[in-house]
Structure 1
């Protein structure tokens, strides 16, 4: 199996000018958008498309990671559909004969949780933050219907499966050669966001705490001031050498800082200037975001992000 080193992946993310939205499925023999790569020894990730979910990418537009510990496999993200989770499991079986013993949901969104139904069928415990589990209970049905809309026949077998175990602050696993710390660092991108921290390897699977190749989305319940506080006080404090983000290739802290923390500060600054000048919401959508036009999903998200930050900052 062809493997990339982390160094090669970092160089790729720094130098490529090709939008992932314009690249066809990289792994046509599987529902996965791309073949899993070994980032560091024992830690693998199937890198999803940095584009909206479509039938062509099977909803694999986030990263599906797993850790081969020596005493079992830990999967990070249930995936967007039953069939997609099975495709990931097929790849895991090609790599190791160790059984999957645990699945983490990085948050309560559909592309992290709708594949839970496959893992539950295998008898694998599914762990998430309590707020993410609540999101699945509240929004799992609508998320499933939306996924069926684009995935059509690829949605077959998918049902809403809530996590089987929850936690509030941290969930620590000692398995094989790894100490695996699932942590809720604080408010960030969406309710129940967690990171999976490997302290001995200095690697963090950041989930949607950190973005870099695609523009981050700001939802109605994304409080950007809180996200920045969590970043400054908790995420940076990890001192991670390696970062596997929720979307995009593995990279380093400097890269995700530039396109997550720095973007949030930049956009909030532009909106603050707009508000101080007496600007209204109708014009806030058009504040200058040109330094970020090269990011995938810019066209889909930039105006929405500006509008939502205006709505928040108007009352700060």
Structure 2
């Protein structure tokens, strides 16, 4: 059993309670709070989750000026012989702010940055670290995704982040891998894993077996509705979950968005939601339903999740298009 800092866990994990018949209720969602840490550009001050792992929990709302684009989780691992950062954030200002927080925890240098996928909030802060000669690691598909979309990602971020995005330029990962990447640093063995297709190209999870914790990235959600993109294969995501992700046997999960929690909770919010929505769309298709009507299939058991209003109808349309010719 890993040695857990219980006081930190108490602050960091307001568990999502209950998952009955697909329903999920959230005790820690934060869409209505503009900023929890006004003295920093970070949305939240990092909290210690396990002996070696800390995470600054982002807003579960869409990116805004008030949250500076910190709407995902920016984590770091203090290994004993250096620090590994997971996600560089949506701009250089967030990377710099996270680095300032790291320096209050340890004098160990940052030795590596890991991007959880190719989205802007994982990679747009890369330049801050690359300029200091620090390698940035990502899956090869995530690197390609970011390279293709980096201009739009930078411009979109600058529109909402304003002065917080002023110094940000796209910087690609310096190291890429395909299946897995093993790191032995200090007291820890860490596996960076591409488990299979999930939320977006190149999704990875960071697994620290000796502490029973997985920094899951966007394979796992619970307080925020999972976004389903046009290139997301939801049946593949469920298969990756059932055959590769959940069998890790993690005791603690830091999802891509939302507070650290347990595998049972993220199962309900992710695999449970995907299975539920596919079931509703499948029944709609069997009844001869159209795309226009598919947008309005019942997703009310998940209406309490942050970004429900922004994503529910879009998700239904994408899954209809995916399943129409399965």
**For the superposition of Structure 1 and Structure 2, which TM-score range results when normalised by the shorter chain?**
over 0.9
For structure 1, which runs of at least 5 residues remain unmatched after alignment? Answer: none
Q: Residues of 2 paired with 1:3 and 1:122: CA distance?
A: 35
Which structure's relative contact order is higher, taking Cα pairs within 8 Å and 6+ residues apart? Answer: 2
User: Which residue pairs with 2:241 in the alignment?
Assistant: 231
Please say if 1:5 is aligned against 2:8. Answer: yes
Residues 52-76 of structure 1: CA distance to partner in whole angstroms, max 9, x if unpaired?
0000000000000000011000000
1:5 is displaced (CA, Å) by: 2.6
Q: Residues of 1 paired with 2:318 and 2:7: CA distance?
A: 38
Normalised by the size of structure 2, how large is the TM-score?
Answer: 0.94
State the superposition RMSD in angstroms. Answer: 1.4
Secondary structure of residue in 1 paired with 2:72: coil
Cα gap change, 1:287 to 1:142, in 2 (>3 Å): same
Does the CA-based 8 Å contact 1:62-1:248 persist in structure 2? Answer: yes
Secondary structure of residue in 1 paired with 2:281: helix
Secondary structure of residue in 1 paired with 2:101: helix
1:10 is displaced (CA, Å) by: 3.3
1:258 to 268, 273, 276: 268
1:139-150 alignment runs, 5 A limit:
139-150=149-160
User: Which residue pairs with 1:87 in the alignment?
Assistant: 97
1:8 is displaced (CA, Å) by: 4.9
Does the CA-based 8 Å contact 2:15-2:27 persist in structure 1? Answer: no
1:47-86 alignment runs, 5 A limit:
47-86=57-96
Secondary structure of residue in 2 paired with 1:180: strand
Cα gap change, 1:149 to 1:25, in 2 (>3 Å): same
Cα gap change, 1:241 to 1:305, in 2 (>3 Å): same
* More displaced stretch, 261-270 vs 22-31: 22-31
1:130-141 alignment runs, 5 A limit:
130-141=140-151
User: Which residue pairs with 1:279 in the alignment?
Assistant: 289
1:147-162 alignment runs, 5 A limit:
147-162=157-172
For structure 2, which runs of at least 5 residues remain unmatched after alignment? Answer: 18-24
1:19 is displaced (CA, Å) by: 4.4
Please say if 1:25 is aligned against 2:35. Answer: yes
Residues 151-171 of structure 1: CA distance to partner in whole angstroms, max 9, x if unpaired?
111101100100000000001
User: Which residue pairs with 1:105 in the alignment?
Assistant: 115
Secondary structure of residue in 1 paired with 2:31: helix
Residues 91-139 of structure 1: CA distance to partner in whole angstroms, max 9, x if unpaired?
0011110000000000000000000010111111000000000011101
Residues 71-94 of structure 1: CA distance to partner in whole angstroms, max 9, x if unpaired?
000000011001110000000011
Does the CA-based 8 Å contact 1:3-1:38 persist in structure 2? Answer: no
Q: Residues of 1 paired with 2:148 and 2:127: CA distance?
A: 16
Normalised by the size of structure 1, how large is the TM-score?
Answer: 0.97
Secondary structure of residue in 2 paired with 1:61: coil
1:9 is displaced (CA, Å) by: 3.5
